[in-house]
Amino acid sequence: MNSQTERLIDIVRKLRSPDGCPWDREQTHYSILSCFLDELYEFFETVEQNDYEHMKEELGDLLLQIVLHTQMASEQKKFDFNDVARDISDKLIRRHPHVFGSVEVSSTNEVISNWENIKKSEKGKEHRKYIVDDIPEALPALFRAEKVQRRVARVGFDWNDSSAAFDKVDEEIKEFREALLSGKHEHAFEELGDIIFALVNVARHHNISAEDALRNTTRKFIRRFKYIEDKFRESGNDIHNSTLEQMDIYWEESKKIVG
The DSSP code for 241 is G
Same domain membership, residue 74 and residue 20: yes
Q: Are residues 12 and 78 in the same domain?
A: yes
Instruction: Report the chain's terminal Cα–Cα distance, integer Å.
Output: 47
Based on the fold, state whether residues 170 and 231 are members of the same structural domain.
no
- In this structure, are 181 and 232 located in the same domain? no
- CATH number of the domain bearing residue 73: 1.10.287.1080
Q: Which of 62, 87, 112 is the last residue of a domain?
A: 87
In a domain, 98, yes or no: no
Count the domains in the chain.
Answer: 3
Q: Cα–Cα distance between 43 and 148 in angstroms, integer?
A: 24
| pLDDT per residue as tens, the chain (259 positions) | 679 999 999 999 999 999 999 999 999 999 999 899 899 989 989 998 999 999 999 999 999 999 999 999 999 999 999 999 999 999 999 999 999 999 999 999 889 888 888 887 876 665 678 889 889 998 899 999 999 999 999 889 999 989 999 999 999 999 999 999 999 999 999 999 999 999 999 999 999 999 999 999 999 999 999 999 999 999 999 999 999 999 999 999 999 999 8
- Domain assignment of residue 112, yes or no: no
Q: How far is CA 158 from the centre of its chain?
A: 23
Domain of 253, in residue numbers? 212-257
Say if residue 195 is in the same domain as residue 221: no
Tell me if 3 sits within 8 A of 12, measured CB to CB: no
Which segments of 96-236 does DSSP mark as H helices, in order? 97-100, 108-121, 141-153, 162-181, 185-205, 210-235
Is the same domain home to 157 and 224?
A: no
Cβ contact 217:209 at 8 Å: no
